[in-house]
């Protein structure tokens, strides 16, 4: 909307249509059709870069190069970028794609520096440098997610141990866990994550063995009952 209301669009504002999540369904369908006609300019939010089918039925337009898509932000998710590219040049038709990026946005979202900007301008390696930044950001995200998973795993086994303390009526241990989970200052209980995990898995294993043994005893009892009943009938 900021771009639409700016002076930069004054000369072509009459040919420009805006598509957002607030656009009604009937109007959206009309915009989807008109967006691929000659001279049409459509501004839309990034959500329409995925799964939206923009078909071009104008043979003259296709012969002249087809629909041109301009992406005005750099996707941190490569799959999103691929999806946006796929809004044009579909099923063998002509089409083209480009990016127009704002350096201030890149500084904020991609953490690029003035030195990075200078290198990109001097070498014209805009995409490769931004792609390296994207890969670095996503790698750090993966590292952070692994840390979160490890932390969540530790909390999970502590929680299972807390549940066990409730089931056996160990009030002292239950309260100690509650103090820790609620960040009570006088909580002094220390937990060994690997030990808790091992204890939990061992308890699960023992419980499973008990179930198998119990089922085996039941089956043997049924067999004896059936055998004794058969012998009585024969006598």
> In three state form, how does the secondary structure of 44-103 look?
ECHHHHCCCCCCCCCHHHHHCCCEEEEECCCCCCHHHHHHHHCCCCHHHCCEEEEECCCH
The answer on 96 and 17 residing in a single domain is yes
The answer on 89 and 20 residing in a single domain is yes
- Domain of residue 22, CATH code: 3.40.50.300
Q: Range of 91's domain?
A: 7-100
The answer to the question of residue 171 being in a domain is: yes
- Using one digit for the tens of pLDDT, what is the confidence trace for 71-120? 999 999 999 999 999 999 988 899 999 999 999 999 999 999 999 999 99
Q: Residues of the chain whose pLDDT is less than 70?
A: 184-193, 196, 223, 225-235
Domain boundary among 100, 135, 165: 100
Q: How many domains does the chain have?
A: 2
CB neighbour class for 121 (10 Å; exposed up to 12, middle 13-18, buried from 19): exposed
Domain boundary among 39, 69, 100: 100
The answer on 17 and 95 residing in a single domain is yes
- Measured CA to CA, the distance from residue 35 to residue 31 in angstroms comes to 6
Q: Confirm whether pTM is higher than 0.75.
A: no
The predicted pLDDT at position 162 comes to 87
The answer to the question of residue 2 being in a domain is: no
Structure-token match 């950001």, residue found = 137
The predicted pLDDT at position 206 comes to 80
The predicted pLDDT at position 66 comes to 94
Residues in the chain: 235
């Amino acid at each position: 909307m900021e771009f639409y209301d700016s002076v930069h669009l004054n000369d072509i504002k009459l040919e420009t249509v805006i598509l957002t999540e607030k656009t009604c369904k009937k109007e959206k369908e009309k915009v989807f059709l008109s967006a691929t006609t000659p001279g049409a300019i459509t501004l839309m939010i990034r959500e329409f870069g995925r799964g939206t089918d923009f078909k071009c039925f104008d043979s003259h337009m296709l012969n002249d190069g087809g629909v041109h898509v301009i992406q005005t932000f750099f996707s941190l998710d490569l799959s999103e970028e691929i999806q946006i590219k796929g809004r044009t040049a579909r099923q063998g038709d002509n089409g083209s794609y480009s990016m127009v990026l704002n350096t201030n946005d890149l500084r904020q979202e991609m953490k690029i520096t003035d030195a990075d900007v200078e290198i990109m301008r001097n070498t014209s390696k805009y995409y490769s440098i931004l792609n390296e930044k994207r890969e670095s950001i996503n790698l750090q995200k993966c590292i952070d997610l692994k840390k979160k998973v490890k932390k969540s795993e530790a909390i999970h086994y502590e929680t299972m141990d807390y549940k066990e303390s409730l089931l056996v009526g160990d009030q002292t241990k239950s309260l100690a866990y509650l103090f820790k989970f609620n960040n009570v200052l006088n909580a002094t209980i220390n937990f060994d994550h690997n030990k808790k995990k091992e204890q939990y898995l061992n308890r699960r294993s023992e419980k499973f063995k008990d179930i198998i043994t119990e089922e085996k005893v039941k089956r043997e009892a049924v067999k004896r009952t059936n055998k004794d009943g058969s012998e009585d009938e024969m006598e």
